[in-house]
Amino acid sequence: MQTQGLGASDLAVTRIAYGCMPLGGAWDQSALSEANRQEALKIVRLALDQGINFYDHADIYCRGKSEETFATLWQERPGLREQIILQSKCGIRFADDPQPGFPHRFDFSYDHIVNSVEGSLKRLNTDYLDVLLLHRPDPLVEPEEVARAFDDLHAAGKVRWFGVSNHTAAQLDLLRQFVRQPIVANQIAFNVIHTHTLNEGIVFNQDNPLLSRNEGTIEYCRKHNITLQAWGALAWGKLTGRTVENPSPSLEKTSALVAKMAQEKGVSGEAILVAWILRHPAKIQAIIGTTNIQRIQASCQADGLALTREEWFQLFNAGRGEPLP
């Protein structure tokens, strides 16, 4: 599988990454079952066999069980840790954690960042993360605290590179004024039917623009060599067979177009969706999080598929649901 650089880092990452969120089974305090563990291992083995070298985690995924499950790989594949790239995220806190009555919240405090990394390292059974992302923007962020946490984690060899998730250009700009390590990635929701980060530049100065504000995030990341990562790359299955109650006309049209292109090119619908992301000149990394073996294989067909400008715009127009200006 083709690789590319990740921002200003020295990492060569596959253009398609695997999102490990569902590997831990249930999102509760129940113990990880052996059946869940074996199913997760089968999925990750397939992703490895497809050539994917980048695996995306978060401390909250299935309440830590996704990271715990993944670590089982080290037992059956000695030396694998040095051959793959592990990314995890922190900053989202559940309600009632650690005390009953505490709200769901975001937390970029020094203590939470450092403690979260320590927890991820323990669950993943590794000495270091290749990349740590701040998960969702914390409105109470103190950039100086983030900078101190990054400095200490980097100096201790526990995190090699740093990034963010779901951040706007303005939020990135503020953080970059304080941290010494380069921000190498920004993970955002992005797919054919979720194009908000593209629309601002399209609908500017129109009478009835789509309501979306991203402050030029894509352009900012391109300018400052920050790799965009697309979560939800497969549009949550809505265009490739998942049952959707009362689908909109635009969703039906887009689904039909994806199926038509797939048939004409002899590939899967998933491959079309991923290829659409990879076609963007920002070199966006597509993160697929399906647990369906066939869909993982289907998605990886995109690595050798190039869409034309016209094909890309056909899908963009359909997914937007309204004509371009």
Beta strands in 179-279 (DSSP E): 183-189, 227-231
The pLDDT tens digits of the residues spanning 215-236 come to 799 999 999 999 999 999 999 9
3-state secondary structure of 229: strand
- Work out the end-to-end distance of the chain between its first and last CA atoms, rounded to an integer number of angstroms: 37
Q: Does the annotation mark 61 as catalytic? A: yes
Q: At residue 212, does pLDDT exceed 60?
A: no
Pairing type for strands 16-19 and 12-14 reads unpaired
Place 52 in a pLDDT band, splitting at 50, 70 and 90: very high
pLDDT surpasses 70 at 207: no
pLDDT tier for residue 322 given thresholds of 50, 70 and 90: confident
C-beta of residue 57 within 8 angstroms of C-beta of residue 20: yes
Instruction: Find out whether 232 and 274 touch, Cβ atoms under 8 Å.
Output: no
Q: Tell me the whole-structure pTM to 2 decimals.
A: 0.95
Q: Are strands 105-106 and 92-93 parallel, antiparallel or unpaired?
A: antiparallel
Q: In this prediction, what percent of the chain has a pLDDT beyond 90?
A: 85
154 Cβ neighbours under 8 A, 6+ residues apart:
160, 162, 181
Rg (alpha carbons) of the chain, rounded to whole number: 20
DSSP 270-282: HHHHHHHHHTSTT
Burial 243-272 (b: 16+ CB within 10 A, else e): eeeeeeeebeebbebbbebbeeeebbbbbb
CATH of 3-189, one of 3.40.50.2020, 3.40.30.10, 3.30.465.10, 3.20.20.100: 3.20.20.100
Could you give the C-alpha distances from 217 to 147, 277, 280, in angstroms and in order? Answer: 21, 16, 14
Read off the pLDDT band of 103 (50, 70, 90). Answer: very high
Q: What is the pLDDT of residues 155-179, one digit of tens each?
A: 999 999 999 999 999 999 999 999 9
Task: State the catalytic residue, choosing from 18, 61, 110, 128.
Answer: 61
Q: What dihedral angle (degrees, nearest 10) is formed by the CA atoms of 112, 20, 164, 116?
A: 10
- B/e letters for 292-307, b = 16+ CB within 10 Å, e = fewer, are eeebbbbbbbbbebeb
Q: What are the tens digits of pLDDT across the range 7-50? A: 999 999 999 999 999 999 888 888 888 888 899 999 999 999 99
Cα 293 to its chain centre, rounded Å, is: 19
Distance CA 51, CA 166 (A): 27
Which residue type sits at 18? Answer: Y
* Mean pLDDT for all residues in the chain: 94
Question: How many beta carbons lie within 10 A of that of residue 134, not counting itself?
Answer: 29
Separation of alpha carbons 29 and 111, rounded Å: 23
Residue pair 236/244 in contact by the 8 Å Cβ criterion? no
Distance CA 305, CA 16 (A): 13
Of 273, 199, 198, nearest to 228 (Cα)? Answer: 198
Mean pLDDT for 257-270 is 97
For the chain, what is the total number of helices (H) and then of strands (E)? Answer: 12, 12
